[in-house]
Amino acid sequence: MAKNRAHGEGHIRKRVDGRWEGIFTAAIDADGKQQFKNVYGKTRKQVADKLRELAKQKELYGFVSTKKVSVAEWIEHWITEIMVHSLRKTTYQTYLSLFKTHIKLGFGGILLQKLSSADIQKLYNKLTKEGKRIQVKKQKKGKDASPPPEPQGLSPKTIRQVHQIVRGSLNKAVQDGLIVRNPALSVKLPRLAKNEQPVNAWSEDEIKKLLVDIREDRMRYAYMLELKTGIRRGELLGLKWDSIDWDNQTVNIKQTLVYANGEIYFSEPKTAKGRRILEVEPEVLADLKRQKAQQAEERLKAGPLWQDNDLVFTKEDGAPINPNVFSRRFRRLLDRMGIKDKRFHDLRHTFASLLILAGEDILRVSEFLGHAKPGFTLNTYSHVLPGKKRETAKKINNIIEGLKSQI
């Protein structure tokens, strides 16, 4: 007769339906009552293996959860209760949006303890094929009715954002003893396309046209500062006058203005290296002085309605500018110019591309932009480098040919 108990296994028995069942003492509650966890398998060995895993888990964490919680409930709890204070507000809102839009319905009512790698892979595959929400306008009925639009898939980048949430929440579930292992670790993710959102730098003719068309624009000095420093939109709108060192000719980037969940607030720069001091030319400071004079006039005009936030670029009453409103204003400017394929962020790309073409090395460009790693800068602007590689090859060739001539 097969023995029913082995060291560290718990109690094992064969059920009348032919399956094997393991009963494990998961914990002892405050009243001294034992809490049990049941596992099942087709063979005794399968059940014994599961019980040994539970024993390891109990040894590591002191208990094994017997709670029945769904995947969606756990991930929502992880975002709203555990991660809420450690995420940037914009990241928190992104997590919450991805959860509500793609994760919550995707996993349905699957229990956390029963979630498998196959379940996660199935969700990612579905999102890749048809995860994108499509706004469907009211269609005419009858013969003239247009067919519904074909479903579209999420980009590899978005799938990886979803995975970051799923994997992170399940890692925490393992730490808390809710599950034995993280099933998200063995799924396959779609490859990131190179330059998924390609860099679209401005041409010289487009820059010239911009410089002409912004002469009378109220935000002209903001656009000029962007062209000459490449700072992020939030850094530009969050820049304060006390960050300008007129004597040392520097601009201190130490905060960013963010809009999330209907609220405008100030935050740390996007990366640790985002806090940086930029050396600028006298012409940049001259533009900032003109901006200061323009702002002084607006302050007088606003009178007691003026909101003093010490910001360099503001609304007419001194209030912070919503970044989305700022971008829409710039879009209208581009429409008047007849430029359809550019965004405000492309001024940042233009700044970086011009630096590289002028001979600046990638490390220095990365420092200017406040990127976390030079490798990201290199990957983003690799399209600018072929010409520089040709220059390098020419220099090496000249050196070697020079040495040959001396032989």
- Report the mean per-residue pLDDT for the chain: 84
* 139 within domain boundaries: no
Q: What is the pLDDT of residue 392?
A: 52
Same domain as 345, residue 284: yes
CA torsion angle for 274, 195, 167, 370 (degrees, to 10)? 0
Residue 352 confidence class, pLDDT cut points 50, 70, 90: confident
Same domain as 378, residue 282: yes
Give tens-digit pLDDT for 194-223.
555 567 888 888 999 999 999 999 999 999
Same domain as 127, residue 38: no
Q: What's the average model confidence in pLDDT over 120-146?
A: 71
Number of domains in the chain: 3
Same domain as 128, residue 79: yes
Question: What's the CATH number where 281 sits?
Answer: 1.10.443.10
Same domain as 106, residue 51: no
* 195 within domain boundaries: no
Nearest CA among 338, 370, 372, 141 for reference residue 251: 370
Q: What is the pLDDT of residue 272?
A: 80
Same domain as 111, residue 9: no
Strand partners, 40: 21
* 401 within domain boundaries: no
Q: What is the pLDDT of residue 135?
A: 46
Same domain as 177, residue 117: yes
Q: What is the pLDDT of residue 131?
A: 78
Same domain as 83, residue 231: no
* 261 within domain boundaries: yes
Same domain as 358, residue 236: yes
Same domain as 75, residue 34: no
Scanning 78-184, the segments in alpha helix (DSSP H) are: 89-98, 104-107, 117-130, 156-175
* 30 within domain boundaries: yes
Scanning 230-361, the segments in alpha helix (DSSP H) are: 233-237, 282-302, 323-337, 345-357
The answer to pTM > 0.85 is no
Range of the domain at 169: 71-134+151-186
Count of helices and strands (H, E) across the chain: 15, 9
Same domain as 364, residue 217: yes
Q: What is the pLDDT of residue 387?
A: 53
SS (HEC) of 336-404: HHCCCCCCCHHHHHHHHHHHHHCCCCHHHHHHHHCCCCHHHHHHHCHHHCHHHHHHHHHHHHHHHHHHH
Same domain as 88, residue 46: no
Q: Which residues of 189-218 are buried (b: 16+ CB within 10 A; e: fewer)?
A: ebeeeeeeeebebbeeebeeebeebbeeee
CA distance 202 to 80: 41
Nearest CA among 43, 44, 42, 24 for reference residue 34: 24
* 16 within domain boundaries: yes
